[in-house]
Amino acid sequence: MSELLRIENISKRFGSFYANKNINLTVEEGEIHTLLGENGAGKSTLMNILVGLYQPTDGKIFLKGEEVHLHSPNDAVSKGIGMVHQHFMLVDAMTVFENIILGDTNAKEIVIDREKRRAQIQELAQRYGFRIDLDKYITEISVGEQQRVEILKALYRGAQLLILDEPTAALTDIEVEGLYDVMHKLVEEGKSIIFISHKMREVMHVSDRITILRAGEAVATVKKDEVSAQELAAMMIGRDLAASSFEKVISGGSAVAELDHVSYNRNSKHYGLNDISMKIRSGEIVGIAGVDGNGQTQLAQVLTGVIAPEEGTISLGDSKILVYDPNNFILRRTAHVPEDRNLQGLVGDMSIADNLVLRRVETDKFSSLGGAFLKKGAILSYAKEMVEKYDIRSRSASQTVRSLSGGNQQKVILAREMEAEPDLLVVAHPTRGLDIGATRFIRQQMIDARDRGVGILLISADFDEVLELSDRILVLFEGQIMGEFPGENPPVDEISLAMTGR
């Protein structure tokens, strides 16, 4: 194998803070090289340098032995570096097809041969097993599908080095398998991949070599075959993590939410709900198992007032909902960790502190005269407390949320919603993008909330997470509930079967 990429002493400073410090790294042709590190360790920053989005403060980059200067993303693309970002870079107002061909530097023809391109993209999609409708708008597709579009886009542009920043976070198990196939095909063709993931099982499955980043520095590069997952975890966080398991409960509490024959867009298999009746009781976690894109998004949306059911009713506590509006649901003590943290969860240009009090700025604790005067001191000291408690890695509570690492942004939403002391907490993919330590912490917080009497609806593409946390498990398939199972000793095979509609 010969060397494709060499990074020499790369540093990146923001103000006085080093996000990357003297990093050395090589990637061989045909290699899958994984970057492993806690939330905020500097993985995405380093990759953004490789795709020309950031200029390094110091250091050099070589491709096939030649020094390169990557001034812009176009530079990087023309040198065969493609990236699937942790935060999607798709244009909402365009279709999947338009997004994929957007900025295509091979576009020499004046009139774009749309049909030819469509065929090429369709062929790529088929080859890699992606089910995707090219004519849908980005707003109409799920987070998982958006991620597939990003992957397709990079492949379509013919990347030699493909950077995948947590590409599997939003994919279903089958799609992840499909992605592994894609990755293997690519390295067989001699292409190289830099892979970022917090899922240890996955890292152990796909990697040839692994580089561990800690606080901006590369602390070790190891061959996959020469380490164990435990050793990697210890190198990453600098200590061992004890195993955990949670006690399951059967709640005798009253219903905090009830759906009565709820339907929405019922003829759609992937984006609708078909005659759903269910209860969420105080003091229990109800987990939804199912392949992503079987109505999970819509279920979370009707339960948080984002959309109104077309048939049936929803009650919160004792009262039937008449007005479907998120604010009405918040007033009725519902909290929501949405599946798309950028779109619905956070205001990127606002500070951590302001995001943390976003929904409660009008309460007496944070303002007087119903929001007319902000109690800045109170907001800041509350924010500091949350930053501490949720271990939001940041320099100050006034830092913008946009400048936080992906996992630390997720912690801001979780802190805000879990601390709202809701009766009903609707969480979608709570630990997506979190490192193993943070994942542990958030799961424990959910259990603690349950034990305080919060009723929790858990939607997660991570089946293990559903099994680990749920007191009851409902299976959702094509908008319908296929069965209910106990969370204690769950019949895994039966549940898996129900997830496929049988």
Contacting residues toward Mg ion, per CB under 5 A: 44, 86, 405-406
**Cβ 41 to Mg ion shortest distance, Å:** 8
* Cα angle, residue 92 at apex, residues 88 and 93 outer, rounded to 5°: 155
CB neighbour class for 275 (10 Å; exposed up to 12, middle 13-18, buried from 19): middle
The SS3 assignment for 22 reads strand
- Which of these ranges, 184-192, 264-272, 328-336, 403-411, lies near ligand ATP under the rule CB under 6 A? 403-411
295/406 with CB nearer ligand ATP? 406
| Contact status: 405 vs ligand ATP (CB under 6 A) | yes
* 3-class DSSP assignment, residue 339: coil
Q: From the list 10, 40, 142, 257, which residue makes contact with ligand ATP (rule: CB under 6 A)? A: 40
**Cα dist. 366→4, 353, 382, 385, 417 in Å?**
54, 11, 9, 14, 16
Whether 317 and 489 have beta carbons less than 8 Å apart is answered as: no
Which one-letter amino acid corresponds to residue 359? R
Residue 144 partner contact from Mg ion, ligand ATP, none using kind-dependent CB cut-offs of 5 to 8 Å: none
| Residues whose CB is less than 8 angstroms from the CB of residue 109 and which lie 6 or more positions away in sequence, other chains included | none
Q: Which is nearer to ligand ATP, 86 or 470 (CB)?
A: 86
Rounded to the nearest whole angstrom, what is the least distance from the CB of residue 245 to ligand ATP in the complex? 25
Residues 481 and 475: beta-carbon distance below 8 Å: yes
430 binds ligand ATP (CB under 6 A): no
Q: How far is the CB of 38 from Mg ion (least distance, A)?
A: 10
Are the C-beta atoms of 312 and 466 separated by less than 8 Å?
A: no
Question: Which of the listed partners (ligand ATP, Mg ion, none) does 14 bind, with a CB threshold of 5 to 8 Å by partner kind?
Answer: ligand ATP
Residue among 168, 197, 298, 408 that touches ligand ATP (CB under 6 A):
408
Q: Which two tokens stand for residue 376?
A: 């800045």
Establish if 86 lies at the interface with ligand ATP (CB under 6 A): yes
- Name the minimum Å distance from CB 195 to ligand ATP: 13
User: Contact between 45 and ligand ATP (CB under 6 A)?
Assistant: yes
* Partner from ligand ATP, Mg ion, none contacting 393, C-beta within 5 to 8 A by type: ligand ATP
Q: Judged by CB, which is closer to ligand ATP: 15, or 252? A: 15
Of 433, 351, 427, 336, which Cα lies nearest the Cα of 88?
433
Which contacts qualify for 405-409: CB closer than 8 Å, 24 or more apart? 405/39, 405/40, 405/41, 405/44, 406/39, 406/44, 406/86, 406/87, 406/166, 406/433, 407/38, 407/39, 407/40, 407/198, 407/433, 407/434, 407/435, 407/438, 408/39, 408/40, 409/341, 409/346
Q: How far apart are the first and last CA of the chain?
A: 47
Residues 15-34 as x/- pattern, contact with ligand ATP by CB under 6 A: ----x---------------
Residues in 379-398 that interact with ligand ATP by CB under 6 A: 393
Cβ-based nearer residue to ligand ATP, 73 or 129: 73
Cβ at position 395, least distance to ligand ATP in Å: 7
* CA atoms of 109 and 113, how far apart (whole Å): 8
Q: Which of 4, 31, 42, 155 binds ligand ATP (CB under 6 A)?
A: 42
Q: How far is the CB of 41 from ligand ATP (least distance, A)?
A: 4
- Tokens encoding 300: 């979370």
Compare residues 56 and 295 and give the one whose CB is closer to Mg ion: 56
Instruction: Out of 7, 21, 34, 43, point to the residue binding ligand ATP (CB under 6 A).
Output: 43
Paired tokens of 7:
């990074």
Q: Choose the contact partner of 42 out of ligand ATP, Mg ion, none; CB within 5 to 8 A by kind.
A: ligand ATP
Least distance (Å) from ligand ATP to the CB of residue 389?
18
**317-355 core/surface letters (b: 16 or more CB in 10 A; e: else):** eeeebeebeeeebbebbbbbbbbbbbebbbeeeebbbbb
Beta pairing class for 480-486 and 472-477: antiparallel
**How far is C-alpha 291 from the chain's CA centre?**
16
How many residues are there in the chain? 502
Q: Give 315 or 342: the residue with its C-beta nearer to Mg ion.
A: 342
125 vs 210, beta carbon nearer ligand ATP: 210
| Run of H or E including 442 | helix 436-451
| CB closer to ligand ATP out of 297 and 409 | 409
Q: By CB under 6 A, which span of 256-264, 298-306, 320-328, 402-410 interacts with ligand ATP?
A: 402-410
Among the listed residues 34, 36, 39, 145, the single contact to ligand ATP using CB under 6 A: 39
- Closer CB to Mg ion, 169 or 446, in the complex: 169
Which stretches of the chain bind ligand ATP, using CB under 6 A?
14, 19, 37, 39-45, 86, 393, 403-408
